[in-house]
Amino acid sequence: MSGSGGNVVEGGERDRLLAEAVGLREAGRKEEARDRLVALSSRFPQDVEVAYQTAWVHDTLGLEAEAVPYYERALAGAGLTEGDRRGALLGLGSTYRILGRYEEAVTTLSAAAAEFSDDGALKTFLAMALYNTGRTHDAMEMLLRLLAATSDDPDIAGYRPAIEEYAKDLDATV
């Protein structure tokens, strides 16, 4: 149990209620899931897992501004699994970008990409945020490096060394 701060009975109930709410979200019953998660978050305000799930459901409903404080709460505490931490960082960074808070998006996603250097999704969302801040060269470099490193397309693989070289400096000429 992640930071609920209650006794065993209360923690067991928290686990059951959280699982039910997540199940509702996964079943497409997002509004009902949101109602339950907001109530659960009020009941367990220090619980990082509840905060993360509450942020996530707000995001799936297009309620990005409402998701931010829950993401921030989830990331401020300890106890998220590595996968949930990645998801929360990506969610918060992406949400900042959608809200036009581009510098915060770059800061959040840069830190996340450094922490989870193997995560291509974080780098992709970071590239989008870099683009939004006018750092198109950095965004393009990041995407080209990611493409060269992860593409299974045989046509791209054949040009991998060239793509990696051009990623270093797109303005260079022969």
Question: Domain-by-domain residue ranges, the chain?
Answer: 1-80, 105-174
What pLDDT sits at residue 174?
A: 53
- Are 95 and 69 contacting, i.e. CB atoms less than 8 angstroms apart? no
Q: What is the pTM of this model?
A: 0.87
| Domain topology for 105-174 | 1.25.40
pLDDT > 90? residue 170: no
Q: How many CA atoms lie within 13 A of 95 on its CB side?
A: 24
Buried b / exposed e over 153-165, threshold 16 CB at 10 Å, is: eeeeeeeeeebee
What pLDDT sits at residue 11?
A: 67
The mean pLDDT value for 114-128 works out to 97
| Domain topology for 1-80 | 1.25.40
Nearest partner of 88 among 69, 102, 61, judged by Cα: 69
